[in-house]
Every structure is written in C-alpha cells, then in structure tokens.
C-alpha cells in the first residue's frame, strides 16, 4: 500500500470495525517509516473533539519535517456542518499535510464518501463471505499457529461474518492452545460456542485502548451470557499489571525479545508484546496505570464486602479504566 499523494485527504471506511482498524494501522506503519513523527502526528476522534481542531492541525506547518499527519477516527460521527468544512478544506488542502479519516458503517452514497471522492482518495475495506476462511487462517498464522479446514469452517458457521467475534475467538484459542500441532475442530468446539459471542479478550483490549462505549457493550453481553464477574475483573487486573510491568521493563532498556522471556509467554503468544502491550502501554503512563490498579482494588473490595452490586461495580471499573486509557480522569479516581 502506497500512502496518498501529497496534500491529499484519505478516507478509509468499511462495515467491519476490525478491517478499518487494520487498514489504519497499515497507514500508521507507513507514516512511522518516514522517521520521527512525534511533533508531526495528531490524532483526533470525531464526536468527542471538534473537527475544526483537526483541520487547523492539518493547516499547521510541519516541525522539522516535510510532512504533517492528522488522523481522525470515528469519522462516521462527523456532522453535516463538519462535512461541509471538510469540503471547503478539500478545495485548497495544505500541501504539507496528509489528513486521514477512518469511518465505520458508512454507505458509499454518504456525503462524506462523496466529498472525499471529489478531492482525495477513498478506500473501502471489506471481506466477502468466501474470503473469510482465508482471513481466519491468516489470523492464526500471525500467532504462529496452523489451523485445520474443519476448524475454520466451524468458526465461520458459529460466528458468521462478525469479524470482531472471530478475532476474539482466534485469540482465545491461541491462548489455550498447547504444542506445535495445528488447531483442530475438537479444540475449537470446546472453546467457542455457536453464537455471536464477544470474547473477554476483546473486552480487555477495548478497555486498554480507551474505547468505553464498545467495552461496556461487550461487558453487558458477557454478563448476559453468564460470564463470572470475578473472572472479568481478574482478566482486567491481569492486563493492567502486565502493562505496568511492560513499561517498567522498557524503561529499563529491555528489548521486546527479552520482555517475552521475562513474561514467560509461550511461543504462540509472543506477538502480544508488539501488537497489544506496546500500543496499549503508550496510552497509559506509570501514574495512570497506578490509578487503574487502585480502581480495580477498590471495585474488588466493594464486591467482596457487598458494598457494591457486581454489575454496577464492573461497569464502574470498565468505564473508569477506559477513561484513564483515553487520557481522562474518571470521577472518584485519584493518584495512588
């Protein structure tokens, strides 16, 4: 994939959030290859931050570089007025900037798609049903695992075209799988129920990335499916303790291979260090991780003493942790 031409606006959209996020990661990787972008990369979220701020950032000259990069996530939330502002920007875009928009659940006929098509580049990311088996195989391969055709067929039959659910199932299977043999049907049937279940691992990821809305939806669904609140809470605590340890090891000068060994991760889970812990730890400094663990201790104590209803306590934990990951201070959370 080649990045858009100089001065362009680039829209990535699709009906599957996971595919849009994967494509955005590819763009960000291309941007990172161009050198240090600490002072020339701005990331905004439509619906939470004024789009005008993103356009002003795009109009700002780069610092010590030839290019400035501005990313706007959740671009499907742009208002009609904001799309009009984008249209005006497209009439005379900054030559030294690249504005990247990422959107989910847009129709090809939407005003945003039509606007960018006229003056920028548009990429729709999608997977046909007949492409899903190959995609599932690739997700296992990324984790260093082979998978049988029968196991792939079962996953697709059980979870349909819900790529988020499939991704969560693949991760769950990879975490439980032992040995170098291929993942077989019997193993998958034991771990994945034939429903559109959202993996607890996806919930933990959403919380760690600051996506409170999706995390709360996943939490409620897991509770409806009968998942134990204590297991959800322990999974969250385990992730945030791991992120704190990851930051400490990185600050100590440890490389990723050393961190994999230190965390005693199996070979098929080594990918988690670069793909999960690294980007999630970037969002959380040591102070915020301390606040996160303090919140988890408070919620755990509230549940065990009966002072908090389990469901309310979990929602408090999920929303508070996600707020910390998003750079906000949730109500009632103080420094450890």
What is the distance between the alpha carbons of residues 282 and 29, in angstroms, rounded to a whole number? 15
SS3 264: coil
CATH 3.40.50.300 fits 9-124, yes or no: yes
What pLDDT is recorded for position 272?
87
229: phi > 0 → left, psi -120 to 50 → alpha, else beta; which?
alpha
SS3 166: helix
| Whether the predicted model's global pTM rises above the 0.75 cut | no
pLDDT in tens, the chain (336 residues): 444 444 589 999 998 888 999 899 999 888 888 766 778 899 999 999 999 999 999 999 888 778 899 999 999 999 999 999 999 999 999 988 999 999 998 888 999 999 999 889 999 998 888 899 999 999 999 999 999 999 999 898 888 888 888 999 999 999 999 888 999 999 998 888 765 344 688 789 889 988 898 889 889 888 887 888 988 999 999 999 999 999 999 999 999 889 999 998 887 788 889 888 998 888 888 899 999 999 999 999 999 999 999 999 999 999 999 999 988 876 555 544
Given the candidates 3.40.50.300, 1.10.8.60, 1.20.1050.10, 2.40.50.100, the CATH classification of the domain at 129-197 is 1.10.8.60
The DSSP symbol for 215 reads H
What is the distance between the alpha carbons of residues 212 and 13, in angstroms, rounded to a whole number? 21
What is the distance between the alpha carbons of residues 12 and 101, in angstroms, rounded to a whole number? 6
What is the distance between the alpha carbons of residues 177 and 188, in angstroms, rounded to a whole number? 10
Q: In the chain, where are the structural domains located?
A: 9-124, 129-197, 202-325
Given the candidates 2.60.40.1180, 3.40.50.720, 1.20.272.10, 3.30.1360.120, the CATH classification of the domain at 202-325 is 1.20.272.10
CA-nearest of 72, 129, 76 to 107 is: 76
């Amino acid at each position: 994939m080649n990045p858009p031409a100089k001065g362009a606006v680039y829209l990535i959209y699709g009906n599957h959030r996971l595919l849009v996020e994967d494509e955005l990661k590819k763009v960000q990787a291309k941007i990172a290859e161009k050198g240090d972008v600490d002072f020339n990369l701005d990331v905004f979220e439509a619906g939470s931050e004024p789009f005008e701020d993103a356009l002003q950032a795009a109009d700002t000259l780069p610092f010590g570089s030839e290019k400035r990069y501005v990313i706007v996530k959740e671009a499907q939330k742009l208002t009609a007025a904001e799309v009009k502002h984008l249209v005006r920007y497209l009439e005379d875009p900054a030559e030294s900037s690249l504005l990247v928009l990422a959107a989910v659940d847009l129709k090809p006929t939407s005003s945003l798609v039509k606007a960018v098509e006229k003056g920028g580049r548009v990429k729709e990311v999608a997977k046909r049903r007949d492409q899903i088996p190959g995609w599932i195989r690739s997700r296992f391969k990324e984790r260093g695992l082979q998978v049988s055709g029968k196991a792939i067929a079962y996953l697709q039959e059980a979870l349909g075209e819900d790529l988020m659910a499939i991704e969560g199932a693949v991760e769950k299977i990879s975490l439980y799988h032992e040995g170098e043999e291929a993942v077989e049907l019997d193993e998958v049937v034991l771990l994945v129920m034939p429903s559109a279940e959202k993996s607890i691992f996806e919930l933990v990821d959403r919380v760690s990335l600051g996506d409170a809305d999706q995390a709360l939806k996943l939490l409620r669904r897991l509770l409806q499916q009968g998942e134990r609140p204590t297991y959800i809470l322990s999974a969250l605590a385990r992730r945030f303790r791991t992120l704190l340890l990851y930051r400490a090891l990185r600050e100590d000068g440890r490389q990723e291979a050393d961190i994999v060994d230190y965390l005693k991760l199996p070979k098929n889970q080594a990918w988690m260090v670069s793909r999960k812990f690294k980007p999630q730890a970037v969002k959380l400094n040591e102070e915020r991780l301390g606040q996160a663990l303090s919140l988890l201790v408070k919620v755990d104590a509230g549940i065990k003493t009966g002072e908090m209803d389990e469901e309310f306590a979990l929602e408090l934990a999920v929303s508070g942790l996600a707020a910390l990951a998003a750079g906000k201070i949730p109500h009632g959370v103080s420094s450890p």
